[in-house]
Every structure is written in structure tokens, then in C-alpha cells.
Amino acid sequence: MKKVDEDPFSNGTEHMIWEERNCDRCWKSSHIKNDSDPDYPKYTKIKCAIQRDIMNRIWSSEPISQRTIDICSHADCPYRQEQRSTKRYEKNKNEPKLFEI
């Protein structure tokens, strides 16, 4: 994937509006954990590559992927998933049952 040395947003307000519209609605985004120590917030693991690239660019000057720049130029993120899929997989589907009655 092509890496570019470019900021996805022109200012902090643009970033805040985009994140509120997309990342805050997505189940894959990282959120602050409810912890007993309010002075040291802990975040959940980042599952989204777009959010990871945005955070890397905010806190450092590392190049990020061109895909992130393209996605942030639109109002809606195409990878936003507001609900987890309810599809369940059966474990040990092809193995015989030990005690069949």
C-alpha cells in the first residue's frame, strides 16, 4: 500500500466532526475504558486500520496510507459498522460427538 506524508485533516475541528460522525458510531473504534483511575485513561484495542493511521498521524509525523487520506476526504467512512454481525459459527462441526444419545 502506498504511504504518503500528508495530513488527513486540515485542522482539529474537521477531525473532531469526522470522528464523531464515523468512529464514534462504529463498534471497531477504540474507546476509553471505565477504570478506577480517572487521571490515567486506558483505551481499548484499536481494531480499525483507518483509526490507527489517523492516531499515528496526530501523534507523530509518520507517513500513512493513501487509502486513509481518500476515506477521510469523504463525509462517511465506507468501513463503518454500527452493529456487530449476528452470524454464529458452530464449533467442531465435523467432529463426532463423544456421547450421543
- Rounded to an integer, what distance in angstroms lies between the CA atom of residue 40 and that of residue 99? 51
Residue 80 forms part of a structural domain: no
Is 94 within a domain?
A: no
Question: Global pTM?
Answer: 0.71
Alpha-carbon span 62 to 6, nearest angstrom? 9
Query: What's the pLDDT at 35?
Result: 67
The residue segments making up the domain with residue 8 are 3-72
pLDDT at 86: 78
In a domain, 90, yes or no: no
Measured CA angle at 1 (ends 9, 70), to 5 deg: 30
Residue 55: in which H helix or E strand, if any? helix 49-59
Domain count, the chain: 1
In a domain, 28, yes or no: yes
pLDDT tens-digit readout, 4-41: 999 999 999 999 999 999 998 998 888 777 766 667 66
